[in-house]
Amino acid sequence: MSLEKHKLFWRMRLISICFCFDSSVTKFCSQNLLVILGFTFILAVIALIAVGLTQNKPLPENVKYGIVLDAGSSHTSVYIYEWPAEKENDTGVVRQIKECNVQGPGISKYAQKVQEIDVYLTECMGKATQVIPESRHQETPVYLGATAGMRLLRMESEKLADQVLDAVTKSLSSYPFNFQGAKIITGEEEGAYGWITVNYLLDKFKQKSGFLNLIPGGNSQETVGALDLGGASTQITFVPQGDIESPANALLFRLYGKDYSVYTHSFLCYGKDQALWQKLAKDIQESNGGTLQDPCFHPGYEKKVNISDLYSNPCTKRFEKTLSFKQFQIQGTGNYQQCQQSILGIFDTSDCPYSQCSFNGIFLPPLHGKFRAFSAFYFVMKFFNLTTEKISSLEKVTDIMETFCSKPWLEVKTTFGKIKEKYLSEYCFSGTYILSLLQHGYHFTAVNWANIDFTEKIKDTNAGWTLGYMLNLTNMIPAEKPFTAPLSHSIYVFLMVLFSLILVTVVVVGFIVFHRHSCFWKEEV
């Protein structure tokens, strides 16, 4: 064999070995290669997912807490909130974890017995020390905001109001929290904080950004209005479309990079309890002797009222008149239409210095958007099953009120025996008053009645002013929009896995194609 033939022989032999010239060997090599590639592919996918989840796993939450006491006219409630500390300036992260209703009346009723306030607050504040971890006690802020009941007490006697607040301060300072003070908030603050709470919980302060938050700007969401009803005052707050003609009713907020021109007004003495006292003080002047035939109470209902109690607060002073009797008796007649006419007598609509008013000469811009009605609005309407079942027809709501008011008192007591008589006896008045206030006071009509949503809680947090109050005092809502990552955690992991799969697939397919071409070239050789 010549040297050239010898070189050619070994060259062909080498090619045969390297490229699996024999068909059985080729099949064996291909099968094992595919198994190895498949196993490697699965391991790579598992590794990518594990790395992605581990790398992006949220850090353990450094939870913070806050306590707000709502010292209302008829009762006091304690609300405990929590939020992740690393998300303090993000929206929609604060949540209510506990609500405790203090047993007894509002703190204004303790003006002559301030020494009892410490015991009054003990039960609920004791629960707060149990709910909040001991390691967080000293850094947990506590705020007390007093509303219309204390506003009225301050009108009667500033000295007595200060004594009540001093007693509250002394009591709350004795707990292991970071007490931040007790104050009487204004009606405008109460309305504004309620509006902030509702829209914060509904995420209305967020802006709808472009695709995957990658496009800057975005469309602003329309906020909802807030309707609050307590025992001594009622508030209406919303963003109108037109100008706010009365500067006293205008508030400007800059929240998350957007300006809001907000209308708000608080009607002191027009909560449901004080409105009833006003109506009685007005009607007793027109009665015969010591008996008042009252259409706002059920037929057969009777109750005695002291004149001294009737004129004991600033809300009824304008109706005060010397009477020949010291006590009068209410006798219910149960007539919705007559009750409403009697209620409208406490709304003064004779004068309006603006283009449009609610009542008592107070400017009210045209209603705009949807509204959330909470507090007593909700609890009264819940009694009439007008919250769980969506009834948008104002006519149907009125029919329900008329039917209920006309029922004999004995039948009502038998049907609702578990409800305290004081509250049960006033539902006819309270329901009629709410409809009168919304229709004739705030100008809701049969057309926009469906825009009212009677609400107790949003995302398991009570609708009301307390959350907005705390958010403001703790600077939890920034003026400018906070930085947010362009992609959410879930989208980031999804895209990482997707692109990794595409990358691995391309590599595998490329290798197979290259391998097949190599074998084809080998066979040709």
At 255-272, the pLDDT tens digits run 888 999 999 999 999 999
Scan for tokens 């009737």, then name that residue. 310
Go through the chain and tell me how many residues it has. Answer: 525
Same domain, 338 and 395: yes
Q: Are 451 and 369 in contact (CB under 8 A)?
A: yes
Report the chain's mean pLDDT, rounded to a whole number: 86
Same domain, 171 and 311: no
Same domain, 291 and 415: yes
Same domain, 108 and 200: yes
Same domain, 184 and 105: yes
- Residue 234: the pLDDT is 98
| Catalytic residue check, 421 | no
Whether 364 maps to a domain, the answer reads no
> How many CA atoms lie less than 13 Å away from 253 in the CB half-sphere?
21
Same domain, 33 and 119: no
Q: Are 234 and 271 in contact (CB under 8 A)?
A: yes
> What tens digit of pLDDT does each residue of 428-475 get?
999 999 999 999 999 999 999 999 999 999 999 999 999 999 999 988
Same domain, 506 and 444: no
Q: Are 113 and 131 in contact (CB under 8 A)?
A: no
Same domain, 399 and 446: yes
Q: What does the pLDDT average to over 73-86?
A: 92
Q: Are 50 and 66 in contact (CB under 8 A)?
A: no
- The pTM for the full model equals 0.81
Domain count, the chain: 3
Whether 343 maps to a domain, the answer reads yes
Instruction: Give the dihedral sign, CA 103/104/106/109.
Output: negative
Whether 169 maps to a domain, the answer reads yes
Whether 278 maps to a domain, the answer reads yes
Same domain, 170 and 125: yes
> What tens digit of pLDDT does each residue of 103-122 get?
999 999 999 999 999 999 99
The region, left, alpha or beta by phi > 0 then psi within -120 to 50, assigned to residue 317 is alpha
Task: Find, among 59, 48, 58, 56, the residue nearest to 492 by Cα.
Answer: 56
Whether 263 maps to a domain, the answer reads no
Same domain, 71 and 92: yes
- Residue 211: the pLDDT is 45
- Stretch among 282-291, 352-361, 394-403 having the lowest mean pLDDT: 282-291
Range of the domain at 131: 63-213+462-473
- Residue 99: the pLDDT is 97
Q: What does the pLDDT average to over 284-302?
A: 92
Measured at the CA of 272, the angle between CA 269 and CA 276, to 5 degrees, comes to: 80
**Helix, strand, coil % in the chain, rounded to nearest 5:** 50, 20, 35
Q: State how far the Cα of 339 lies from the Cα of 231, in Å rounded to an integer.
A: 19
The catalytic residue among 188, 189, 190, 402 is 190
Whether 447 maps to a domain, the answer reads yes
On the question of pLDDT at 307 being above 60, the answer is yes
Q: State how far the Cα of 221 lies from the Cα of 489, in Å rounded to an integer.
A: 24
C-alpha distances in angstroms, 148 versus 189, 275, 455? 11, 13, 21
Sequence-distant (6+) residues with CB within 8 A of 393 are: 446, 449
Choice between 77 and 2, residue whose per-residue pLDDT is larger: 77
Q: State how far the Cα of 217 lies from the Cα of 290, in Å rounded to an integer.
A: 67
- Residue 520: the pLDDT is 46
Whether 382 maps to a domain, the answer reads yes
> What tens digit of pLDDT does each residue of 482-497 get?
555 555 566 666 656 6
Whether 149 maps to a domain, the answer reads yes
Long-range contacts of 349-355 (CB under 8 A, 24+ apart): 349/440, 354/245, 354/246, 355/245
Same domain, 116 and 178: yes
Same domain, 302 and 440: yes
- Domain of 114: which CATH number? 3.30.420.40
